[in-house]
Amino acid sequence: MSTNTITIGVKGGGTTIFIDPPEFGYTTDIMLPLFISRNSDGHYGVWDDGEGAETFDIYKFRGNLFLSAADMDELDDLVKSTSSGRAAELTLTLSAGSGFFPFGPAKGDAGDFDIFVTDYIPKGTIGHPADHFNVEMEWTAQSFPAYTPPADAGTGSLAIGNSAGVSQVANIRFPQDYTGLEYKPNFNIALTSDGDGKAADYGESGDSHNITIPLTLQQAKANTVLSHIIGTVRANDFSIIAPANSYMFGRGLGGNGTYKVNLIDNRISILHEEHNVYSFNLSVNYIETL
């Protein structure tokens, strides 16, 4: 048995094991029950099947664990054996300050998380050191402990506002490798059988400007941004308040400004790169400049 702080056991009592945490590079996927479609006017409609509540959001952890032979035997028995935890709801227990955020920076690194093991891929021995094994796992959360996040701290010049352009989350670090504009003109050109082109133009107002904003943030700011997007924004229009000379939506829409947008991806994938460093993308569609 290892001396680390991660405990996994059958919910309500039964087999319990102690294993090492996964290496950094693990991911959290947050799947929101948003239905997203591109309308005939070129813009996007977003509907929240969760009716604004987080009740139906799905959180999944995926990562690699490197275990001793003894710990691997215990985990294998827990996951596979009908006398242990096979197909059972489990409880993952993390001690205070574990630094392991399996379900993202907004859900904490301490307390009891109820989970199901939804994927289990033993990969055999790693060779060096001898008698150590690699296993890839996916856990799907069922419940979370209460969590009090650390105080937020300003790290940059980007801000997220409400639909009227009033800042709600300020001082976000601007992406260092920002390249994310996708422009779709709202016209269609088709070729007839003799090769002639025929065009149908639905007007500039229907052109769509989509961007993917890659954010790399510390835990406190990542928590603030994600809590706002998941808890408040969801299917609602909101705004991106861009710093000078950023040209986030291309030169035609200006170097800086307050842009009304909506979310056009119902999955947020978070990479825990290293201690206190999280990266994820926000994909949005431009509606208007405020």
Regarding whether 137 and 183 lie in a shared domain, the answer is: no
Residues 232 and 234: their CA atoms lie apart, in Å, by 6
CATH code at 209? 2.40.30
Strands (E), 100-203: 111-125, 132-143, 158-161, 167-172, 181-184, 187-191, 197-201
Preceding omega of 122 cis (within 30 degrees of 0): no
Three-state DSSP at 173 gives coil
**Tens digit of each residue's pLDDT (9 = 90 or more) over 176-212:** 877 678 888 888 888 888 888 888 887 777 788 899 9
Last-in-domain residue among 143, 173, 199: 143
Question: Cα–Cα distances in Å, from 81 out to 76, 133, 140, 156?
Answer: 8, 19, 19, 50
Is the residue at 245 inside a domain?
A: yes
Supply 159's token pair: 């801000």
Is the residue at 150 inside a domain?
A: no
Regarding whether 163 and 129 lie in a shared domain, the answer is: no
Is the residue at 235 inside a domain?
A: yes
Is the residue at 79 inside a domain?
A: yes
Residues 11 and 19: their CA atoms lie apart, in Å, by 17
Regarding whether 284 and 170 lie in a shared domain, the answer is: yes
Domain around 72: 6-143
Regarding whether 138 and 170 lie in a shared domain, the answer is: no
Is the residue at 1 inside a domain?
A: no
Give residue 228's identity as a one-letter amino acid code: H
Regarding whether 172 and 98 lie in a shared domain, the answer is: no
> What's the domain count of the chain?
2
Residues 94 and 6: their CA atoms lie apart, in Å, by 5
Regarding whether 170 and 135 lie in a shared domain, the answer is: no
Place of tokens 């379900």: 103
Regarding whether 257 and 191 lie in a shared domain, the answer is: yes
CB 63 within 8 A of CB 25: yes
Regarding whether 226 and 201 lie in a shared domain, the answer is: yes
Is the residue at 45 inside a domain?
A: yes
Last-in-domain residue among 117, 143, 169: 143
Regarding whether 101 and 196 lie in a shared domain, the answer is: no
Is the residue at 152 inside a domain?
A: no
**Tens digit of each residue's pLDDT (9 = 90 or more) over 123-177:** 888 877 778 999 999 999 999 999 998 998 888 999 999 999 999 999 999 988 7
Regarding whether 252 and 172 lie in a shared domain, the answer is: yes
Regarding whether 82 and 120 lie in a shared domain, the answer is: yes
**Tens digit of each residue's pLDDT (9 = 90 or more) over 60-109:** 999 999 999 999 999 999 999 988 889 999 999 999 889 999 999 999 99
Exposure class string for 190-214: b at 16+ Cβ within 10 A, else e: eeeeeeeeeeeeeeeebbbbbbbbe
Last-in-domain residue among 143, 175, 199: 143
**Looking at residue 43, what is its pLDDT?**
79
Regarding whether 277 and 197 lie in a shared domain, the answer is: yes
Rounded to two decimals, what is the model's pTM?
0.92
Is the residue at 149 inside a domain?
A: no
